[in-house]
Structure 1
Amino acid sequence: MTRSEKSAVVAKLEAEFREAGAIIVCDYRGLNVKKLEVLRNTAREQGIKVQVVKNTLANIALKNVDKDGMELKDTNIYIWGEDQLAVTKVVAKFEETNDLFSIKTAHIDGEVASVEKVRALSKMPSRDELIAMLLQVWNAPIQNFTIGLNALKEKKEQTA
C-alpha cells in the first residue's frame, strides 16, 4: 500500500467510526471465506460494516475520532454500525455458531467495553421487540374483555 492509499483508508475509517455507535474487534483466525461471507451478509442486511483492517491504520482512525484505548494485536476483523444492539447481536450470534471466531474488545457508548458487556447487550431486546412487547401489554385487557363477552354471549345462547 502506498502512503496515499493508507491515508485514504484512514480517512474512510474515520468517517465511518465517527458515526458508529459500536465498534467491535474480533479474532477470526482460522475461519474460511465461506463462513466470513455468512457474517458479512448477515451484517449487510442490518446496515453493519465488516472489514479486515491493518491494526496500525485502525488505531490511527480510532485515535482521530477519540475512540481509542482498545488493545489491537494479531489478526482482527472490525465490525461496526450505528445501532449498538444490532452490532452486538450479529457478533454474539456469529460467535455462538463458530468456535474459531471470538470477541476481543469493543468500543460502545464512548468507552472501551468488555466482552461480557458485548454479550450482555446482545441479549437485550431491540427497539422493535420492545415496542411489540408494549403493544401486547396494551392489547391484552381489550382482548380478554372481548373473549369474556363472547363467552357470555355463547352461554346466553345455550340457556335460551
Structure 2
Amino acid sequence: MSKYLKNLVISDLSKRLEGVNDLLVVDVVGMNADKTFQVRKQLREKGLQLLVVRRTLAAKACEGTSLAPAFEGMEGSTAIVWGADDFVDLAKEIVRLNDDDGFPGFTAKGGVMDGESLSPDTVKTISKWPNRAEQLSLLVGQILGPGRTLAAQIKGPGAKLASQVKQVGEKQEG
C-alpha cells in the first residue's frame, strides 16, 4: 500500500472515530462471510459499528487521542467496535458474541475506556456491571426508599387512629 493511500485511510479513520471516547478491539479471523455479516447485522441493530482495520493504521489514526492505549501491545488482526449510548452495553454485546458458539473466531482482544487500556478479562468484568439505565433505577430506588419509609411511619398511626374511631362509631350505631 502506498504512503498516499495509507494517509487517506488514516485520515478517514480519524474522521470516523472523531468524538469517540471508548471502543473495543475484537478479532474476526476464522469467520466466513455469512457469519461476519450476521455479526455486523446484530451490532448494527444495537447501534454499534464494526470496522476491520490494519492495526498499525488504526494506531496512527488514534495517536494523540484517548483511544491510543487500545492498540498498545496489540498484535495480529484487528477489528474495532464502537457506538452505543453506554460503554457497558457495548461490552455486554461483545462478550455475548464472544461466548456465542455460533460465531467461532469472534474474540474480544481488549479496548479502551476513559483513556485506560483494557484486557479481555477486564472487558468481561465490565460486561457484568449494571448499565446506565440499571444504575439510574438503582439510584432512584435508593432515593425513594427513605421517603417511602417516612410516609409509612407517618401514615401508620393515623390509620390506626382512624380504625379505632371507626370501631367506636360502629359500636355506637349497634
**1:126 is aligned with what amino acid?**
N
**What letter matches 1:113 in structure 2?**
L
The one-letter code sitting in structure 2 at the alignment partner of 1:75 is S
Deviation string 1:90-116 (CA, Å, 9 cap, x unpaired) is 211100103422112211110211112
Match in the other structure for 1:41: 41
> Which residue matches 1:87?
90
Say whether 1:119 aligns with 2:124. Answer: yes
In the alignment, structure 2 segments of 5+ residues that lack a partner are 153-158, 160-174
Which residue pairs with 1:7 in the alignment?
Answer: 7
- For 2:77, the aligned partner's letter is T
8 Å CA contact 2:31–2:104 kept in 1: the answer is no
CA contact (8 A) 1:17 1:23 kept: no
* 1:70 aligned partner: 72
% same residue:
25
The alignment's C-alpha RMSD in Å is: 3.2
Residue of 131, 135, 138 corresponding to 1:130: 135
Output the CA distance in 2 between the equivalents of 1:13 and 1:101.
22
Question: Normalized against structure 2, the TM-score is what?
Answer: 0.68
User: How many corresponding residue pairs?
Assistant: 151
What one-letter code is carried by the residue in structure 2 that aligns with 1:110? Answer: G
> What residue number does 1:103 align with?
108
The superposition leaves residues 13-48 of structure 1 with CA deviations (integer Å, 9 ceiling, x where unpaired) of 223334223221122221122222222122223332
Query: Which AA in structure 2 matches 1:112?
Result: S
Q: TM-score, normalised by structure 1?
A: 0.73
65-74 or 100-109, which deviates more: 65-74
1:18–1:65 CA contact under 8 A, matched in 2:
no
Alpha-carbon deviation of 1:118?
Answer: 0.8
Q: Structure 2: which amino acid aligns with 1:55?
A: R
